[in-house]
């Protein structure tokens, strides 16, 4: 699905909420990168339909069979090589430059918010650009030329993993606390392209609402938040909806 299905009144209310003097914080998920050509996880044909997460994306699966788990990570890294930010990423960067958006908290590991010009980005689930050794914590850049060798090895002899949060791992302390503080302080909290099923990220919209924020949701289909937490639901693709929202905030 693409395009916009939201009604104009919801768009006006969202633009008004974004002008809150307490600022806006945005939580993004895989849906925002779909229009850059990266499939999401849980939609039909999503990544988890080919690579079941319990077999490929848990810390236990990594320790049990690193070469197998790296099949997915190499494929994902390969698919990220030539992707570009789409109008939704650019719109969020515009809103930050306008002083409307304070920060983007992303569950995505594709670095597209940075490439799109956003500055204050919390990479809640880490980044695919880096490797880390779980044994000695050495980090280095991921090199796709190592793919034929299987799981990359650390100088200490252990297997390296991408510096991302696998199922069964905890969110790094700094990202966790920074995101919580942002959610508690903002006047508007905008959720874009996430099914909001994976915790603790999925808890942030509720935390923001309990702290007095207006929750805006932009998604192609309703989620568990839509009827319970969301105040303003903008149904449609992020690539169509967010640029329209920028124009509306600018007064167009
Ligand atoms: N615009 C807006 N929303 C979209 C678009 C689009 N073009 N395309 C899809 N969506 C919506 C889907 O309807 C769905 O609600 O984006 C959401 C994507 O949800 P998921 O595939 O579950 O991805 P995400 O929420 O980011 O997953 C969270 O779970 O798989 C783990 O660690 C992984 O970070 C990921 C986390």
Give the mean pLDDT of 122-131.
94
User: Please, which pLDDT band fits residue 2 given cuts at 50, 70 and 90?
Assistant: very low
- Give CA–CA dist 144/75, Å, rounded: 10
Counting from 1 in the atom list of ligand 1, the atom nearest the Cα of 237 is 1
Q: Which residues are catalytic?
A: 125
Determine the residue of 36, 43, 217 to mutate for testing ligand 1's pocket, defined as the one with the most ligand atoms within 8 A of the Cβ atom: 43
User: Please, which pLDDT band fits residue 1 given cuts at 50, 70 and 90?
Assistant: very low
**Could you tell me what percentage of the chain is helix, strand and coil, using 3-state DSSP and rounding each to the nearest 5?**
40, 20, 40
Q: Tell me, using a 6 A CB cutoff, whether residue 223 lines ligand 1.
A: yes
Q: Tell me, using a 6 A CB cutoff, whether residue 29 lines ligand 1.
A: yes
Counting from 1 in the atom list of ligand 1, the atom nearest the Cα of 238 is 1
Give the mean pLDDT of 126-134.
93
Q: Kindly give the distance from the C-alpha atom of residue 138 to the centroid of ligand 1, in angstroms, as a whole number.
A: 31
Q: Is the pLDDT of residue 27 over 50?
A: yes
**Residue in 158, 189, 167 with CA at minimum distance from that of residue 22:** 189
Residues 6+ apart with CB under 8 A from 13: 232
Extract the runs of DSSP E, i.e. beta strands, from the chain: 24-28, 101-106, 121-123, 126-132, 139-141, 161-164, 188-192, 214-219, 232-235
CB count in 10 Å sphere of residue 251: 6
Task: Convert the pLDDT of each residue in 209-226 to its tens digit.
Answer: 999 999 999 999 999 999
Task: Convert the pLDDT of each residue in 32-51 to its tens digit.
Answer: 999 999 989 998 888 899 89
Q: Tell me, using a 6 A CB cutoff, whether residue 195 lines ligand 1.
A: yes
- Give CA–CA dist 139/4, Å, rounded: 42
Q: Kindly give the distance from the C-alpha atom of residue 40 to the centroid of ligand 1, in angstroms, as a whole number.
A: 5
Domains annotated on the chain, with CATH: 1-38+84-125+170-252 (3.40.50.1220), 39-82+128-164 (3.30.1600.10)
Q: Is residue 69 helix, strand or coil?
A: helix
Residue with tokens 């080919």: 50
pTM: 0.95
Q: Per the structure block, which two tokens stand in for 48?
A: 């988890």
Q: Is the pLDDT of residue 237 over 50?
A: yes
User: Please, which pLDDT band fits residue 252 given cuts at 50, 70 and 90?
Assistant: low
Q: Kindly give the distance from the C-alpha atom of residue 196 to the centroid of ligand 1, in angstroms, as a whole number.
A: 8
Counting from 1 in the atom list of ligand 1, the atom nearest the Cα of 28 is 26
């Amino acid at each position: 699905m693409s395009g916009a299905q939201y009604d104009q009144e919801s768009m006006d209310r969202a633009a008004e909420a974004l002008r809150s003097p307490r600022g806006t914080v945005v939580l993004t998920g895989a849906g925002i990168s779909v229009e850059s050509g990266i499939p999401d996880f849980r939609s039909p044909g999503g990544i988890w339909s080919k690579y079941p997460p319990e077999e490929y994306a848990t810390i236990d699966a990594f320790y049990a069979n690193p070469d197998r788990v790296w099949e997915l990570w190499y494929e994902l890294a390969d698919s990220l090589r030539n992707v570009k930010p789409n109008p939704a990423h650019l719109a969020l960067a515009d809103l930050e430059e306008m002083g409307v958006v304070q920060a983007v908290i992303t569950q995505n590991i594709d670095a597209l918010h940075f490439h799109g010009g956003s500055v204050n980005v919390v990479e809640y689930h880490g980044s695919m650009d880096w490797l880390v050794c779980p044994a000695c914590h050495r980090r280095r850049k991921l090199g796709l030329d190592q793919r034929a060798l299987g799981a990359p090895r650390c100088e200490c002899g252990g297997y390296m993993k991408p510096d991302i949060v696998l199922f069964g791992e905890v969110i790094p302390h700094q990202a966790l606390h920074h995101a919580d503080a942002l959610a508690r302080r903002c006047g508007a909290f905008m959720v874009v392209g996430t099914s909001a099923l994976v915790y603790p990220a999925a808890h942030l919209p509720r935390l923001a609402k309990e702290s007095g924020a207006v929750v805006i949701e932009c998604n192609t289909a309703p989620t568990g938040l839509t009827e319970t937490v969301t105040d303003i639901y903008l149904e449609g693709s992020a690539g169509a909806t967010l640029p329209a929202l920028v124009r509306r905030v600018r007064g167009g």
